[in-house]
Amino acid sequence: MTRFLRVFCLYASFWIAAATQVQAQDWPARLIKATIPFGPGSAADVVPRLVFEHLSAELGQPIVIENRAGGGGVVGSAAVAKSDPDGYSLLAQSSALTIAPLMFPNASFDPSRDLASVFMIGSGANVMIVPKERPWRTIQDFIAAAKAKPGSISFGSVGIGSAVHISSEKFRYAAGIEAIHVPYRAGPEVIADILGGRIDLYFCPLATALPLIREGQVRALVVSTSKRVAELPDVPTPAEIGLKDADSEIWFGVFVPAKTPREVVDKLHAAAEKVLATSATQVSLTKLGLEPRPMKPAEMDDLVKRELAANQELIKAAGIKP
């Protein structure tokens, strides 16, 4: 009986592997589901939707998008990580993927173990915006006021552990100020309270912030990146105002469950490269304040591991808590 079971298991393994290979060769043969783990209207929603529209045409299959917000992106990300690794479940994430899971001890997945990188859409800056009614004309004015009244400043984000949350925390820690974190479910909610003067600042994705800045509805005080951005040439970087290790950027990428066949990952990566190389896509992403950041899946995997380690140190040093 033991010998029979061994032979049976051997044949079963062979046929399962053969079936998986056939499925990978035929992919995509049906509708693909993409999960965005943030609310509608946020940059983490708008950016991948733009790419998925073109990617669907390139693949010849519809891509249906579901917003599944919660836990700074943890809820939706965990759902995809646990999905069947057949290439029909995609996750559109941002830099939050290397932050939020560290903030929640009960997160039921490990980004570096349970997800595989597919393609990078691009990266860009967050910009610190404040209500126009506030008296701060420069970032130096703001820091001086915050230090004069510790704990009097409030800042918004699209959730605990989101990329905009960590931009705020890195700035706060480097500047040596105390501030109250007010998490929201989606970007439009944060913007509404910034415009209404109910919170003091928001490290907002550049694409969302630019129209508000140009229309004079908010004031921009500092960008999050190590270099100034072309669209806001007069807004300084953290390093230019003397803050060390305060810069950050937000990136957007697409992932699949870790055990997805490599052939499927390669096909999806190749299709995305074609889409991202078109002038129409590049123009659209530029308008959203993003720069191309071409990466192979293995390079993205390495980036995720590096950022997880760096953010773990920051969370501990700055005492960031959910």
Q: What is the pLDDT of residues 259-281, one digit of tens each?
A: 999 999 999 999 999 999 999 99
Provide the whole-model pTM.
Answer: 0.84
Query: What is the predicted pLDDT for the residue at 15?
Result: 46
Decide which of 174 and 1 is more confident. 174
For residue range 72-87, list pLDDT tens digits in order: 889 999 999 999 999 9
Q: What is the pLDDT of residue 18?
A: 41
pLDDT confidence bin for 20, thresholds 50/70/90: very low
Q: What is the pLDDT of residue 95?
A: 92
φ and ψ at residue 5, rounded to 5 degrees:
-65, -40
Question: What domains can you pick out in the chain, each with its CATH number?
Answer: 16-123+251-318 (3.40.190.150), 126-241 (3.40.190.10)
Average pLDDT on 57-85 reads 94
Q: pLDDT averaged over the chain?
A: 91
**Over the stretch 280-317, which tens digit does the pLDDT of each residue have?**
999 999 988 899 999 999 999 999 999 999 999 988 88
pLDDT band at 23 (very low <50, low <70, confident <90, very high): low
pLDDT value for 124: 92
pLDDT at 17: 44
The set of residues, in sequence order, having a beta carbon less than 8 Å from that of 45 and lying 6+ positions away, is 36, 38, 39, 67, 186, 187
pLDDT tens-digit series, residues 123-175: 999 999 999 999 999 999 999 999 999 999 999 998 888 889 989 999 999 99
Give tens-digit pLDDT for 99-127.
Answer: 989 988 788 899 999 999 999 999 999 99
Q: In angstroms, rounded to a whole number, what is the distance separating the alpha carbons of residues 181 and 284?
A: 32
pLDDT at residue 58, rounded to an integer: 97
Strand 115-124 and strand 250-257: the pairing is antiparallel
pLDDT, residue 169, reads 92
Distances (CA, A) of 175 to 32, 43, 145, 227: 45, 26, 12, 18
**Alpha helices, DSSP H only, in 30-162?**
43-59, 74-81, 100-103, 111-114, 139-148
Would you say 52 and 34 are in contact if contact means Cβ atoms under 8 Å apart? yes
Q: How far apart are CA 264 and CA 290, in angstroms?
A: 27
Q: Write the single-letter amino acid at 269.
A: H
Which pLDDT does position 4 carry in this prediction? 58
pLDDT greater than 80 at residue 13 = no
* 257 close to 78: Cβ distance less than 8 angstroms: no
How sure is the predictor about 2, in pLDDT bands with cuts at 50, 70 and 90?
A: low
pLDDT confidence band for 237 (50 / 70 / 90):
very high
